[in-house]
Amino acid sequence: MTENNVKFNDVRYCYGEVCAIHNADFEIKRGSLTIFVGPNGGGKSTLIKLLSGFLKPDKGSVDVENNGAIGYVAQGFGFDDSFPITVKEIVLTGTLDKKILPFKKYSKEQHKKAEEAIEKVGLKGFEKRGVSQLSGGQLKRVVIARALASDAEILVLDEPDSNLDIEAVKDLYQLLKDLKDSKTIIVASHNIDFILDISDTAVYINKTARFFENPQELKEKLKEGMII
């Protein structure tokens, strides 16, 4: 096994004639928490989608060690939070493979995976609670639990702190910090005040990508108003 879990090899992706990202060339270590930061429209979400397999590079490649499973957490919740469904039912869907069989019951192992994921994100006791009864921060934890239940080795989160209050953001990032012992975690975010302090590495993305071994170096540059 190699030290690096994910490798971007001179990646370029264009929407028609407009290139969202080019010359993206960096590696992410296994068991690390890496933050993608940069201006709106700079290419963060494009890189996230390239890594998650929703887009294919026009040039270069994105290599994932041993084709490891990726758990993708989108900006939104991915479901109608007014729908009458419980926390456990949402998380259980993370245990399904691509070949979903109608009317098939979840196995004991699937229930166990869901329960373990719910406990990991701090929602034990909420299993039977309807998602409409949850706060925004709790809903985000449910979506992360669903990704954990899939046995994903890599968690990829696209602006998970959007529309959360400050306390919910702090709780969310503490959760991600705790999870990195067992997962490789990649987060796209604008919230440099919190996430850069707990990150192991950072990537500044603005049409291209610059990797920072020390996230505090990037934080200082951004606070000084430097355009990288």
- The residue that leads in pLDDT, 137 or 62, is 62
Q: Are residues 193 and 206 in the same domain?
A: yes
Query: What are the angstrom distances between the C-alpha of 98 and each of 28, 86, 95, 139, 228?
Result: 27, 22, 10, 24, 41
* Residue 75 lies inside a defined structural domain of this protein: no
Is 211 within the bounds of a domain? Answer: yes
Instruction: Give the separation between CA 82 and CA 97, rounded to whole angstroms.
Output: 25
Check which CATH number belongs to the domain holding 18 and give it. 3.40.50.300
Q: Where are the alpha helices (DSSP H) in the chain?
A: 44-52, 87-92, 108-120, 136-149, 166-179, 192-198, 215-223
Using 50, 70 and 90 to split pLDDT, how confident is the model at 4?
Answer: low
Per residue in 37-84, pLDDT tens? 998 899 999 999 999 999 999 999 999 988 888 989 887 766 666 778
- Map tokens 């001179």 to a residue: 10
- The domain of 32 spans 1-68+153-167+183-228
- When pLDDT is cut at 50, 70 and 90, the band that residue 223 belongs to is confident
Residue 177 pLDDT class (50, 70, 90 cuts): confident
pLDDT category of residue 215 using cuts at 50, 70 and 90? very high
Q: What is the pLDDT of residue 1?
A: 40
Q: Would you call 16 helix, strand, or coil by DSSP? A: coil
Residue 143 lies in a domain: yes
- Whether residue 194 contacts residue 186, with contact meaning beta carbons closer than 8 Å, is answered with no
Q: What percent of the chain has pLDDT over 70?
A: 92
Residues 142 and 187 in one domain: no
139, 37: one domain: no
Task: Please give the tally of structural domains in the chain.
Answer: 2
Query: Does residue 130 lie in a domain region?
Result: yes
> In 3D, which of 31, 49, 21, 35 has the Cα closest to residue 161?
35
> 172 lies in a domain?
no
- Segment 183-191 shows an average pLDDT of 89
Looking at residue 170, its pLDDT comes to 86
pLDDT (0 to 100) of residue 104: 66
The answer to whether residue 177 sits within a structural domain is no
DSSP helix/strand/coil, 56: coil
pLDDT (0 to 100) of residue 6: 94
Mean pLDDT (the chain, rounded): 87
- Does residue 76 lie within any of the structural domains? no
Does residue 122 have a pLDDT over 50?
yes
In this prediction the pTM is: 0.85
Q: Which two tokens stand for residue 36?
A: 């993608």
